[in-house]
Amino acid sequence: MSLINNYLKLVTSEHRDKPKYTEMLTSLLQYSEDVFTLAVGIDDEFDMDLAVGAQEDILGVIVGSKRTLDFQPSRGLSSFLDNSVYRTLLRAKIAQNMWKGGILDLRDLWVTLFETSIVIRDNQDMTIDVTIVNSMLDQLTKELIVNGLIVPKPQSVRMNILFADEAIFGYDMETNVVRGYDHARWANSISADDIFAYDRDDASEKMHGYDKGNWS
């Protein structure tokens, strides 16, 4: 009622003590108050940090990212993203739309999204290795990454994704993400494809035998 009250304070003393006049003026001003409230709320409704549901879906249309995935996640996870995961996907899509194609830009993009470390290596053969270090990412987020929905890449370049819960092993280096013997571990990959397994056919675990599974 702040807008209405501000106007009512401008009423002259001659009419200020007239109840019917005040009620009439309040009724007329209520339309302006409603429009003002709606206009102020639009910013919050479509704020990337606050938007949910239909408003978040509209943001997805604007940036070019759907809430429903084109693949079925493993372990019984839904392909329909909740508000929190979809928000991460939208932020990544916005960053991808603005990405200039450089490795340093890619590293900055990742840190902005997840505040964790990432190691990128250009193999000079149209492939790059991306190792995500010290990340406590859930399974669904990892699968979004593996399927190319989080980390952008140049056209026709293959991206190999590796995950490491601790610093990864490397020779002659000692940083917070790369360390030597006794202080680091090998990174692990997560396959976007179903992997090969003997005597096992389990779609929920993405494990299959001949003709269906792939070496990981």
pLDDT tens readout for residues 137-163: 888 988 998 888 888 877 888 888 877
Residue 49, pLDDT > 80, answer yes
Q: Give the pLDDT score at 81.
A: 95
- pLDDT given at position 170: 59
**Could you tell me the pLDDT band of residue 56, with boundaries at 50, 70 and 90?**
very high
Place of tokens 């239909």: 54
Of 182 and 9, more confident? 9
| Residue 78 confidence (pLDDT) above 80 | yes
Question: Is the pTM here over 0.75, yes or no?
Answer: no
Q: Nearest CA to 165 among 188, 139, 137, 133?
A: 133
Helix (H, G, I), strand (E, B) or coil at 159: strand
| Predicted confidence (pLDDT) at residue 130 exceeds the cutoff of 70 | yes
Work out the number of other CB atoms within 10 angstroms of the CB of residue 172.
Answer: 6
Mean pLDDT taken over the chain: 78
Segment among 17-26, 39-48, 158-167 with least mean pLDDT: 158-167
Q: What integer pLDDT is reported at residue 120 of this predicted model? A: 80
Radius of gyration of the chain (CA): 27
Q: For residue 108, what are the CA distances in angstroms to 52, 62, 95, 114?
A: 26, 23, 10, 10
- CA torsion 168-170-174-177 (nearest 10°) is -30
As a whole number of angstroms, the distance between CA 208 and CA 196 comes to 5
Going from the C-alpha of 34 to that of each of 2, 3, 55, 165, the distances in angstroms are: 11, 10, 20, 51
**Domain regions of the chain by residue span:** 2-45, 53-208
pLDDT band at 60 (very low <50, low <70, confident <90, very high): very high
Task: Place 67 in a pLDDT band, splitting at 50, 70 and 90.
Answer: very high
The rounded distance, in Å, linking the Cα atoms of 167 and 129 is 16
The type of residue at 163 is F
DSSP assignment of 161-178, as one string? EEEESSPEE-TT--SSSE
Q: What is the mean pLDDT of residues 30-54?
A: 88
Taking only the tens place, the pLDDT of each residue in 196-215 is 455 556 655 555 555 544 44
- Is the Cβ–Cβ distance between 179 and 167 less than 8 Å? yes
